[in-house]
Amino acid sequence: MSKPLLEFNNKGIYCAKADVYIDAWRPVKKVIITHGHADHSKFGHQKYITHHLNIPIIKHRLGDINVTGVEWGETFSINSVKFSLHPAGHIIGSSQVRVEHKGEVWVFSGDYKTEDDGISGAFEPVKCHSFITECTFGLPVFKWQPQQEVFDEMNNWWKDNQKNNMTSVIMVYSLGKAQRVLKYLNADIGTIYTHGAIENMTDVLRKNYDFPETVKITRETKKNDLKGNIVIAPPSAHGTTWMRKMVPYVTSSASGWMSTRGARRRRAIDKGFVLSDHADWDGLLSAIKTTECEKVICTHGYTDIFSRYLKTLGYDARTEQTQYKEDED
Amino acid sequence: MKNFAQLIQKIDSTNKTNAKVKALKEYFDTADDKDKIWTIAILSHRRPPRPVNSTQIREYAGELSKIPAWLFEESYHIVGDLAETIALVLPKNNSETEKPLHEYLEDILDLKSKSDDKKKNYLFKHWKKLNYYERFVFTKLMTGGFRIGVSQKLMTRALSQSTGIDQDVLAYKLMGNWKPQNSTFQSLILEENPEDYLSKPYPFYLAYAVEGELKDLGNPEDYLFEHKWDGIRAQLICRNDQHFIWSRGEELVTDKYPELETFKEQLPEGTVLDGEIIAYPNNEIGDFKDLQKRIGRKNVSKSLLKKIPVIFKAYDILEWKGIDIRNKSFAQRRKVLDDLYDKFKDTIAPFHLSETMRFSDWKEVEKERQKAREIRSEGLMIKLVNSEYGVGRKKGDWWKYKSDPYSIDAVLTYAMRGHGRRSNLFTDYTFALWNDDKSELVTFAKAYSGLTDKEFREVDSWIKKNTTDRFGPVRQVEPHHVFEIAFEGIAESKRHKSGVATRFPRIIRWRKDKKIEDANTLEELKALL
């Protein structure tokens, strides 16, 4: 038996034939990066390859790194192994990685969602023999509503709070969800304020995208200016003194975890919007089906449960340990 | 149902008590009387009996959502709430139902005696018709307690705002054995009844725990000291030839303690005592475990009454000869109480007095506290001589100075996911101690509380990475972490493998400085017996 095309070792997902890693969590010589979230793009690799839209993001986060950008669908070879990136629909600049050698095709999904959010590129199913998939929300309780319904609900929530003279605070990750929310907020309702972390990341992305105008909250921002408007802040801001300026406020979070009441109460926030940048149960199953793969390897999320279910559907499914985080949204 | 489901959704969308009360008030302002009475019933723990058992309901939900039973179970353990799991896994539906809440509840009452097939058909029909929140509420009404972040007190507050009726009066109106199916909103809530005021208790006055040093409280001679008795805090009201006993949970418990009826026959009209109901088996003060056998019973059998009688140990007097004397000083009130006790101690058998003590030196106070276990108290109460009987908790007048709990170092061996706000986090732990030759760890207690959210997250993440075996929802973990476990009491037990049962075990701290070899042994635990 020859070695599998992609294997899992203590540094990341490894292609021995090309001597290249994908989303390595320890420093390596050469790495292909699926997207800019911290658990997938670590500091310290010698050479990075990623989608060109992801370059500003990882440079903003990791500083001056040696990075090459590629287009979706553009093939590049390393030691006769053919690689290409394909849209994953997770966040801006996110990709799946297709790896082909002697007719055998593997795909690593990275993180993905199947609904087109209008900014991340539409998820593209890639035919393969072996599919390495995330399954963050690999349970049948996770089923998303169409995003337009969620954003309508979000804008109405903002309007209601405005009527009650309250400031709306929405807590989302600064990369990905923040920009997705920003794109769909109705700026006619009021002013969109941002926390510094969100403003900086969004600034990096404005070159390529058209987002509504935002105002960064600074020491000079007046309490009265915020009233009735909306603030986008990272989850870490919740419960800090930074929030004082927003009093009286109503808090919310937008994430797939908001599906369950317990998760919402644990975070002690008022309103939960079920809005995820990952595939839901049906999304995962349909994505796997359209790859026409035989083997599925589940990396992070409810891996044991999800792979067990895949086996009942006839897939050769198993799990692999990685250091990708399960609790992101 | 539509309005009720929307109410639950509104309550669910806020973390603020006032917003919850507002939503409830608006609901009470507009809802149909029949729906209102059922809403009051549901929110005061008067849910109809379960029409379908939990196994059946899981099976049906799995079938309708076309997922295997094991997958449904896994989902349930992660979501941590059965009704919520069902509402989530069923195929989506966005329509709303016009059928009113009370009709659903009447269905549910009927359903209990129906055949399994009929039950299944009924569930399928309505699950398919209802949207997410309606489904959640509908299923919740049939499973477990209806806990959705609204206490009976909160509901009473909203009802008071909506009707203009005083909260305490409403609290009384809602007591007792009324049934929503044969009560009306008019008769239960709106009609004036002079009796309502007769039973009215005073709000309990509560003490703060001593946190710093005793000497920070000032001069010990400014205080009266009592032991802190371990039972149920209660008010005993004698007015107009009737007596009422209210527990601190604002529950009317008169019927549960028939031996206290003798107070009514002897005490003068217009007397209200504050005290503690304590188990008194074999003519001595029992422990809380004894009292627990009485707490749950509505109808007390003669044999139980004989085996575990209760006494009322009086702390204070709030009303005397029909006059509210709460603004008199504690010393003055105690003088009235002490005289009353002297007069009636021989004729009212269950009348006991919580004796006051005076000390001139804090060291003596400390010594007195050390006696607590021996005389079966929980520690000391420290009350300013000139304190009024206030409302709620106020810092400075009354202090409680509890005995230090027992504590022991134990090893984390198993974990389960929590419920509610801890769903999907491993927060329910099993702890073990070493056997004699330290060859084996023996389970001795489970504990769920005592760590910070941050620590829970850290332990949760460690558990997920260090699971050695799984038994359904239970994870066995590598013995590695030592925790200090505190508990209030300890008793022999045949039901536990360890041979002992502990009362209210909880985690004090995570002993990262200790290795599992440093954990205590079962022998060391038994030495505390």
Q: Using 50, 70 and 90 to split pLDDT, how confident is the model at A328?
A: low
Q: What gap in Å lies between CA B337 and CA B348, rounded to an integer?
A: 14
* Cβ-contact B308, B347 below 8 angstroms: no
DSSP letters, A210-264, are: -----EE--TT--HHHHTTSEEEE-GGGTTSGGGGGG-SEEEEEESGGGGSHHHH
Within a domain: A328? no
User: With DSSP H G I counted as helix, E B as strand and the rest as coil, what are the percentages for chain B, rounded to 5?
Assistant: 40, 25, 35
Taking the C-alpha atoms of residue B375 and residue B359, their distance in angstroms, rounded to an integer, is 19
Smallest CA-to-CA distance from A51 within A234, A208, A177, A264 is with: A208
Q: In whole angstroms, give the CA distance from residue A106 to residue A98.
A: 6
* Domain match, A161 and A261 both: yes
Tokens 């349909």 found at? A286
Judge whether A218 lies within some domain: yes
A121, A236: one domain:
no
A140, A251, A262 ranked by CB distance to B67: nearest: A140
A31 and A78 in one domain?
yes
- What is the number of residues in chain A? 329
A231: domain CATH number is: 3.40.50.10890
Specify the pLDDT at position B505: 92
Q: Could you tell me if A309 and A268 lie in one domain?
A: no
Interface residue of A157, A165, A266, A285 to substitute, partner B, most B CBs within 10 Å? A266
Give the residue numbers spanning the domain of A248: 147-273
C-beta atoms of A265 and B74 within 8 A: no
- Is the residue at A1 inside a domain? no
Is A106 found in the same domain as A86?
A: yes
Q: Do residues A11 and A136 share a domain? A: yes
| Contact residues on chain B for A262, CB-CB shorter than 8 A | 79-81, 419-424
Which token pair is B45? 């723990």
A249 and A289 inside one domain: no
C-alpha to C-alpha distance for B471 and A208, rounded to whole angstroms:
51
- A329 occurs within a structural domain: no
Residue in A66, A67, A63, A120 with CA at minimum distance from that of residue A96: A120
- The tokens of A243 are what? 């929030």
Flag the least confident range among A82-91, A288-297, B63-72, B436-445: B436-445
Average pLDDT for A31-51: 97
User: If you average pLDDT over residues A282-300, what whole number do you get?
Assistant: 96
Q: Which residue of B has its CA nearest to A143?
A: B88
Domains of chain B with CATH codes: 2-140 (1.10.3260.10), 205-402 (3.30.470.30), 406-526 (2.40.50.140)
Q: What is the dihedral of CA B5, B9, B12, B14, to 10 degrees?
A: -140
Distance of CA A234 to the CA centre of its chain: 14
Average pLDDT along chain A:
95
- Please check the confidence at residue A301 and state whether its pLDDT lies above 70: yes
Same domain assignment for residues A292 and A243: no
Say whether A76 sits in a helix, a strand or coil.
Answer: strand
pLDDT at A41: 96
* 3-state SS class at A282: helix
pTM of the model: 0.79
pLDDT in tens, A114-164: 999 999 999 999 999 999 999 999 999 999 999 999 999 999 999 999 999
The sheet carrying A230-233 orders its strands as A215-216, A192-194, A230-233, A167-171, A249-254, A271-273
- What value does the CA radius of gyration of chain B take, rounded to a whole number of Å? 26
- Provide the CATH number for the domain around residue A28: 3.60.15.10
Q: Identify whether A23 is part of a domain.
A: yes
Count CB pairs under 8 A between chains A and B. Answer: 71
- Distance from CA of residue B281 to its chain's centroid? 24
Closest partner residue to B15 (CB to CB) among A142, A269, A309 is A269
B-chain CB neighbours of A266 within 8 Å are: 421-423, 425, 453
Instruction: Note whether A159 and A101 are same-domain residues.
Output: no
The answer to whether the Cβ–Cβ distance between A259 and B88 falls below 8 Å is yes
Query: What count of Cα atoms within 13 Å lies in the side-chain half-sphere of residue A302?
Result: 23
Distance of alpha carbon A229 from alpha carbon A187, whole angstroms: 10
Examine the domain organization and report whether A295 and A231 are in the same domain.
Answer: no
Q: Are the C-beta atoms of A33 and A58 separated by less than 8 Å? A: yes
- A39–chain B Cβ distance below 8 A for any pair: no
Closest Cα partner for B68 from A319, A309, A296? A309
Question: Locate tokens 């009802």: which residue?
Answer: B159
- Mark which of A255, A273, A291 sits at the end of a domain: A273
Contact (Cβ atoms closer than 8 angstroms) between residue A201 and residue A175: yes
Beta strands in B221-309 (DSSP E): 223-229, 232-239, 242-247, 271-279
Beta-carbon count within 10 A of B276 CB: 23
Print pLDDT tens along chain B (529 aa): 999 999 999 999 898 899 999 999 999 999 999 999 999 999 988 888 899 999 999 999 999 999 999 999 999 988 989 999 999 999 988 888 899 999 999 999 999 999 999 999 999 999 999 999 999 999 999 986 788 888 888 999 999 999 999 887 787 788 666 789 988 999 889 988 777 678 888 888 999 999 888 999 999 999 999 999 989 999 999 998 899 999 886 678 888 999 999 999 999 999 999 999 999 999 999 888 789 889 877 678 899 999 999 999 999 999 999 999 999 999 999 999 999 999 999 999 999 999 999 999 999 999 999 999 888 899 999 999 999 998 777 778 999 999 888 889 999 999 998 876 677 789 999 999 999 888 999 999 999 888 888 899 899 989 988 888 888 778 999 999 999 999 988 888 887 888 888 888 999 999 988 999 999 999 999 888 7
Buried b (16+ CB within 10 A) or exposed e, A212-250: eebeebeeeeeeeebbbbbbbbbbebbeeeebebbeebb
pLDDT of residue B196: 67
Q: What percent of chain A has pLDDT above 70?
A: 98
| Helix B2-12 with B17-30: angle, nearest 10 deg | 170
Q: Are residues A72 and A173 in the same domain?
A: no
Residue A326 lies in a domain: no
Asked if B424 reaches chain A (Cβ–Cβ under 8 Å), the answer is yes
**Which chain B residues are within 8 Å of A265, Cβ to Cβ?**
15, 149, 420-421
Do A137 and A286 fall into the same domain?
yes
Q: What is the ipTM of this complex?
A: 0.93
What's the confidence (pLDDT) of residue B420?
67
Residues in CB range of A72: below 8 A, 6 or more apart: A51, A84, A85, A86, A87, A95, A121, A124
* B15/A251 Cβ within 8 A: yes
Three-state SS at B420: helix
Helix ranges (H only) for B302-374 are: 302-307, 330-344, 362-370
Q: Which residue of A has its CA nearest to B470?
A: A304
Q: Which residue of A has its CA nearest to B420?
A: A262
A243 touching B (Cβ < 8 Å):
no
Question: Does the structure show a pLDDT above 80 at A190?
Answer: yes
The 3-state DSSP composition of chain A as helix, strand, coil percent (nearest 5) reads 30, 25, 45
* pLDDT for the residue numbered B277: 97
Q: Does A41 touch chain B (CB under 8 A)?
A: no
What is the Cα B487 distance to its own chain's centre? 18
Q: Which chain A residues are closer than 8 Å to B75 by Cβ? A: 139-141
Number of domains in chain A: 2
Residue A133 in domain: yes
Half-sphere exposure of residue B81: CA atoms within 13 angstroms, side-chain side = 23
Task: Tell me which residue in B15, B68, B425 faces A270 most closely, judged by beta carbons.
Answer: B15
